[in-house]
C-alpha cells in the first residue's frame, strides 16, 4: 500500500529511464524524481517492493538502464516552491563553494563535517544539497567520495558520459589528488612512501574501522614534507590508491597520526592541538587534476586551506 498524501501524490507514475540516467542506483534515481521525499521513505518503498522496473521487483542496489520503465508509487512530494532545503548552516552558502563548473563537470570545496551523501543516519549530504540548489539540472552524481571530516575538492558529474570517463581515470590512476595534512611530531627523512594493505572491519557497536592487515587490499600513500613545527609537521599527501581512511590509517601506522583524528589519532596530541584552536580533523583535499575528455582538456582545480586551519598553523609557528 502506498503512502500518498496530497494532490501531487494522487497516482502511480511510470517513468522511462533516459540515456543520461543510465547507471544510477535505483535509490538515487528515485531521489531525483521524488524531490522532497526523505531517504527513509525511499528505502521503505524499495523494501516493500512498491517500486517496479519493467514490471518486476528489484533489489535496492539495482542500477537503472536506458529504456527501463520504473513504477513509482504515490508518496508525499513537496509542493512546488515549498521544498525544504537540506539542513545545515553550510547549505545557504553552497553556491559559494563551487571551484569549477562547465557543462559536464562540477568541482566544489566540501566543508568539513558534512557527508557527501545521505544515509547511515545522515538525512542529507553534499549531493542532495547540490540537487536542491540546481533542480533544473537533470543529472548530478558523485564521482568519488571524501570522508565526512575531510574538506576540499570533490567532483560531481553533470552527465553520465562524464561520470564514466572520470571513473575510468580513477581506475587507471590518471586522476591525481593531493591533500594537506598535519601530523604529530617532527618529520624527518624527506619524502616517504608507505605501502601497507588495509582491511575494513566493524566493531561490536557497528562502527566502521580500517586496519593494516596482510589480508587487506593493497594501499600506497606518499608523504611529502612541507614544514616542521616541532610538535607537528605539515605534509602534502599523494594517494596511489583510494582506500577508505587510507591517509589516516597509514599516518597512524608510521607513528605520526593526523591532528584532530578521534578515531586513529593520539588523545594527548589532539588535546594539545585543541588548545591551539583546532576543532576538526586536519585533512584537506587541496588539489585535483583530471581530463575532460569531451574537450580533451587537462583540468587542475585547487581549494585553498580554510581560515580555521591556517590559524592553527599560525599558532603553531608562534608556539615554536
Active site residue 27: no
21, part of any domain = yes
The span from the CA of 31 to the CA of 117, in Å, is 12
208, part of any domain = yes
85, part of any domain = no
Do 194 and 222 sit in the same domain of this protein?
yes
Per-residue confidence (pLDDT) for residue 44, from 0 to 100: 85
Boundaries of domain holding 121: 91-166
Q: Which of 22, 35, 74 is nearest to 51 (CA)?
A: 74
Per-residue confidence (pLDDT) for residue 183, from 0 to 100: 98
Residues of the chain below pLDDT 50: 1-9, 79-83
Q: Which of 109, 147, 149, 261 is the catalytic position? A: 147
Do 206 and 307 sit in the same domain of this protein?
yes
Q: How far is CA 266 from CA 216, 263, 285, in A?
A: 24, 9, 22
Do 12 and 145 sit in the same domain of this protein?
no
149, part of any domain = yes
Tens digits of per-residue pLDDT, 228-248? 999 999 999 999 888 989 999
Do 240 and 277 sit in the same domain of this protein?
yes
Per-residue confidence (pLDDT) for residue 4, from 0 to 100: 41
Per-residue confidence (pLDDT) for residue 33, from 0 to 100: 82
Last residue of a domain, one of 38, 72, 106: 72
pTM for this prediction: 0.75
Q: Domain containing 105 — which CATH number?
A: 3.30.2350.10
The span from the CA of 231 to the CA of 229, in Å, is 6
Do 186 and 290 sit in the same domain of this protein?
yes
Do 189 and 114 sit in the same domain of this protein?
no
Q: Domains in the chain: how many in total?
A: 3
216, part of any domain = yes
Per-residue confidence (pLDDT) for residue 315, from 0 to 100: 94
Do 212 and 313 sit in the same domain of this protein?
yes
Amino acid at each position: 500500500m502506498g503512502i500518498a498524501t496530497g494532490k501531487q501524490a494522487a497516482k502511480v507514475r511510470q517513468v522511462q529511464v533516459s540515456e543520461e540516467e543510465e547507471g544510477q542506483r535505483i535509490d538515487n534515481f528515485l531521489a531525483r524524481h521524488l524531490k522532497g521525499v526523505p531517504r527513509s521513505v525511499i528505502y521503505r518503498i524499495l523494501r516493500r517492493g512498491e517500486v517496479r522496473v519493467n514490471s518486476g521487483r528489484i533489489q535496492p542496489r539495482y542500477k537503472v538502464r536506458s529504456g527501463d520503465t520504473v513504477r513509482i508509487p504515490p508518496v508525499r512530494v513537496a509542493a512546488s516552491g515549498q521544498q525544504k532545503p537540506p539542513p545545515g548552516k553550510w547549505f545557504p552558502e553552497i553556491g559559494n563553494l563551487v571551484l569549477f563548473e562547465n557543462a559536464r563537470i562540477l568541482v566544489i570545496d566540501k566543508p568539513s563535517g558534512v557527508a557527501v551523501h545521505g544515509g547511515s543516519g545522515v538525512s542529507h549530504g553534499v549531493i542532495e544539497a547540490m540537487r536542491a540548489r540546481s533542480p533544473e539540472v537533470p543529472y548530478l552524481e558523485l564521482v568519488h567520495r571524501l570522508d565526512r571530516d575531510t574538506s576540499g575538492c570533490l567532483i560531481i558529474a553533470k552527465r553520465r558520459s562524464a561520470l564514466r570517463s572520470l571513473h575510468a581515470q580513477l581506475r587507471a590512476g590518471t586522476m591525481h589528488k593531493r591533500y594537506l595534512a598535519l601530523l604529530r611530531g617532527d618529520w624527518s627523512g624527506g619524502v616517504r612512501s608507505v605501502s601497507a594493505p588495509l582491511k575494513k572491519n566493524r566493531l561490536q557497536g557497528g562502527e566502521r574501522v580500517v586496519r593494516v592487515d596482510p589480508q587487506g587490499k593493497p594501499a600506497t600513500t606518499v608523504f611529502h614534507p612541507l614544514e616542521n613545527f616541532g610538535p607537528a609537521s605539515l605534509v602534502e599527501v599523494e594517494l596511489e590508491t583510494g582506500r577508505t581512511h587510507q591517509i589516516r590509517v597509514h599516518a597512524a601506522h608510521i607513528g605520526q597520526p593526523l591532528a584532530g583524528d578521534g578515531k586513529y589519532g593520539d588523545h594527548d596530541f589532539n588535546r594539545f592541538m585543541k588548545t591551539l584552536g583546532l576543532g576538526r580533523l586536519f585533512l584537506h583535499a587541496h588539489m585535483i587534476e583530471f581530463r575532460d575528455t569531451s574537450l580533451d582538456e587537462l583540468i587542475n582545480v585547487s581549494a585553498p586551506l580554510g581560515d580555521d586551519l591556517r590559524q592553527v598553523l599560525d599558532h603553531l609557528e608562534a608556539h615554536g
